[in-house]
Structure 1
Amino acid sequence: MTRFVRMIAGLALILMMGGCATGQPRGYVNVSAWSTNYTEDYIYDFSIRTADGKRTGIGGVQVNEFSKGGTGGRECCALIPGVGQTIKVIWRVGGYREDESQWKTYSHDVVVTGAMPKKKDAYNILMVRFFKERQVEAELIPDRGEAGELASPRVDKLFSGQRVMRQKGE
Structure 2
Amino acid sequence: MKMVVRMITGLALVLVLGGCVTGQQRGWVTASVRGANYTEDYIYDVSIQTTDGKRVGLGIARVNEFSRGGTSGSECCAFIPAVGQTIKVVWQVGGRQQDKSQWRTYSRDVVVTGAMPKKKDAYNILIVRFFQEHQLEAELIPDRGEAGGTASPRVDKLYSGQRAMRQKGE
TM-score using structure 1 length: 0.89
* Letter paired with 2:163: R
C-alpha distance in 1 between matches for 2:63 and 2:20: 36
Matched position secondary structure for 2:117: coil
2:56 match:
56
Residue by residue over 1:42-86, the C-alpha shift from the partner in whole angstroms, topping out at 9 and shown as x without a partner, is 000101001111110101011000000000110000101000110
Q: Where in structure 1 do 4 or more consecutive aligned residues deviate above 4 Å?
A: 14-17
- The correspondence of residues 1-170 of structure 1 with structure 2, limited to 5 A, is 18-170=18-170
Quick one: distance in 2 between partners of 1:106 and 1:77? 23
Offset of 1:20 from its aligned partner? Answer: 4.0
Q: Gapped runs of 5+ residues in structure 1? A: 1-10
Q: Within 1, Cα distance between the matches of 2:23 and 2:30? A: 10
Write the deviation string for residues 132-157 of structure 1: whole angstroms up to 9, x where unpaired. 00001000000001001000000000
Q: CA RMSD in A?
A: 1.6
The equivalent of 1:3 in structure 2 is none
**2:153 corresponds to which letter in structure 1?**
P
Query: Once the two structures are aligned, what percentage of the paired residues are identical?
Result: 74
Any gaps of 5 or more consecutive residues in structure 2? 1-10
Q: Hey, what's the Cα distance between the residues in 1 that align with 2:160 and 2:36?
A: 12
Q: 1:15 offset after TM fit, Å?
A: 7.1
Give the letter for the 1:53 counterpart: G
Q: Distance in 1 between matches of 2:105 and 2:96?
A: 15
> Paired residue for 1:6?
none
Q: 1:97 Cα deviation (Å)?
A: 1.1
The number of equivalent residue pairs is 159
Cα deviations by residue, 1:15-39 (Å, 9 ceiling, x for unpaired): 7862443221101000000110000
Give the whole-Å Cα distance in 2 for the aligned partners of 1:66 and 1:135. Answer: 15
Amino acid at match of 1:94: G
- Equivalence for 2:6: none
